[in-house]
Amino acid sequence: MVAIVTDPAIDPGAIWRPLPEAYRQPGMSPTQIILHTIVGSAEGAFSFFRDRSDLESTYIVPFLGPRWQLIPLDHSADANRKANRRPDGTGAVSIETEDMGAATVERTPWTTHQVDEIVGACVYVCRTYSIPPRLCRTPSDPGIGYHTLFGAPSDWTPVAKSCPGAARKAQVPEIIERVRLELAGPATPPETGVQPMKVIRHTTGEVMLYDGVLRVPLNYGPTHTDNLERINTYAFLCGGITDMSDAAAPAGETSAEAIRRRKLSADLLTTTRVAR
């Protein structure tokens, strides 16, 4: 007979990619979860943690595939200053998340997939360590927070920063509510029927994904080039690839001018089908 031993400090929903120091980090009793954004790629952050720094986070959530776990949940990860491990032995599990880099970090929301993975991690950690699914009310209050919840610098960061960026901060209440509902009872049965349009909300506007075709409101960004860039970004975030380039576009051309020049539909910039 083979005995399968499970360690509750290893999330069964994650890919286990331990850092060399995973079990050398001090023991810690998790009472908080703190959300971050990487300002770069998931693999880049992983190799930075592994090869070039003494820093680490407990999780990394990439754009594609399951979340990675780098440190056991009951060992401290050096990402949250005083919340790494407090004198009473409690501390924070940290979740790093892949983004599109510094240029767009304030306006890149977590993808639907990333939100699902963050919620999955939070549900597992909250259930395993009896952490309440609520926003932390103070820097040592049990719950879920994000890196700059109490400002920057603060007890959670020694430097000025805006991690995880405006667009992702705006998603935190929705994430906590989903964690709360999942912990409260069985999941509600999936809705039947067709959901024809999925609207992805954004702090400065909306992008609509409809049956694989992205449509961006005309007034979404200040210039045509800006909108093309956003379409490409959102196609990528939706799990697809498109290359909307327009070499003939004069610099600074507005969306309305581009629509007239290219004789496109009146109110929306629309991609060709997004390859998935």
Record the tokens describing residue 181, joined without a space: 């509902």
Per DSSP, 188 falls in state P
Closer residue to Zn ion (CB): 147 or 224: 147
Minimum distance of Zn ion from residue 96's CB (angstroms): 7
Contact window for Zn ion (CB under 5 A) among 14-22, 124-132, 163-171, 198-206: 163-171
Please say which residue, 56 or 182, places its beta carbon nearer to Zn ion: 56
Which listed residue (61, 93, 163, 172) binds Zn ion by CB under 5 A? 163
Choice between 92 and 258, CB closer to Zn ion: 92
- For the CB of residue 57, give the shortest distance to Zn ion in the complex, in Å: 8
Angle between helix 112-129 and 172-184 (nearest 10): 50
Q: Tell me if 54 sits within 8 A of 19, measured CB to CB.
A: no
Tell which positions 94-123 bind Zn ion, by CB under 5 A.
none
Of 86, 84, 99, residue with least CA distance to 42: 99
Q: At 258, is the secondary structure helix, strand, or coil? A: helix
- When the beta carbons of 36 and 85 are compared against Zn ion, the nearer one is 36
Cβ at position 35, least distance to Zn ion in Å? 8
Distances in Å between the Cα of 274 and the Cα atoms of 60, 82, 194, 226, 255 are 27, 45, 20, 19, 21
Name the residue nearer to Zn ion (CB basis): 52 or 263. Answer: 52
Q: Answer for the pair 225, 213: CB distance below 8 angstroms, yes or no.
A: no
82 Cβ contact list (under 8 Å, min separation 6) = 139, 155, 156
Q: Rank residues 52 and 276 by Cβ distance to Zn ion and give the closer one.
A: 52
DSSP element (H, E) containing 69? strand 68-69
Interface segment toward Zn ion; rule CB under 5 A; list 22-30, 54-62, 157-165, 208-216: 157-165
Yes or no: say if 111 and 167 are a contact pair by the CB < 8 Å rule: no
Site string for Zn ion, 8-37 (x = CB under 5 A): ----------------------------x-
**Which residues neighbour 153 within 8 Å (Cβ) at sequence distance 6 or greater?**
159, 160
One-letter amino acid for residue 121 of the chain: A
Long-range contacts at 46-49 (CB < 8 A, ≥ 24 apart): 46/17, 46/70, 49/19
Residue 172 Cβ vs Zn ion, minimum distance, rounded to whole Å: 13
Kindly state the number of chain residues that form the binding site for Zn ion, as judged by CB under 5 A: 3
Of residues 31 and 148, the one with the C-beta less far from Zn ion: 148
Name the nearest CA neighbour of 87 among 29, 147, 25, 158: 29
CB of 67 to Zn ion, least distance (A): 16
Binding segment for Zn ion (CB under 5 A), chosen from 4-12, 159-167, 180-188, 225-233, is 159-167
Residues 136-155 that bind Zn ion (CB under 5 A): 147
Minimum CB distance to Zn ion, residue 194 (Å): 39
- Footprint on this chain of Zn ion (rule: CB under 5 A): 36, 147, 163
